[in-house]
Amino acid sequence: MHLEGFLLGIICTCSVLAGLFFLKFWRRTRDGLFLAFGIAFLAEGVNRAVILDLPEPSQGHPFTYIVRLLASLIILAGILHKNYLSARR
C-alpha cells in the first residue's frame, strides 16, 4: 500500500507539473491546443490525488474512468479545433 501511494503521488505531481508547463506555453502563444493539454493534465493530476483518498486505490472506481474520459475528450476537442482553424486559413 505504501509503495502504491508513493507511485500515485509521483504520477500526480508529474501530471500537475505537465499541466502547468502547457498552461505556461498557452499564456505565451494563446494556442488552444496548449490550453486543452494543460486542462487535461491538471484534471489527471487532481484525479490521481483523489484516488489516493479512496479506501482501495488499486481497485477501479467509475469516477476515475469518467475523469480520464473527459480529459481525453478535452485533448481530442483541442486537436479538432486546431485542425479546423488551420483548414479555414
9-46 per-position pLDDT tens digit: 999 999 999 999 999 999 999 999 999 999 999 999 99
Which pLDDT belongs to residue 1? Answer: 65
**What digits encode the pLDDT tens for the residues 38-81?**
999 999 999 999 888 887 766 677 888 999 999 999 999 999 99
SS (H, E, C) the chain: CHHHHHHHHHHHHHHHHHHHHHHHHHHHHCCHHHHHHHHHHHHHHHHHHHHHHCCCCCCCCHHHHHHHHHHHHHHHHHHHHHHHHHHHC
What amino acid is encoded at 46 in this protein?
V
Please state the pTM of the whole predicted model: 0.88
Grid coordinates representing 13? 505531481
Residue 73 lies in domain = 2-88
Give me the number of domains the chain comprises. 1
Residue at 64: amino acid letter: T
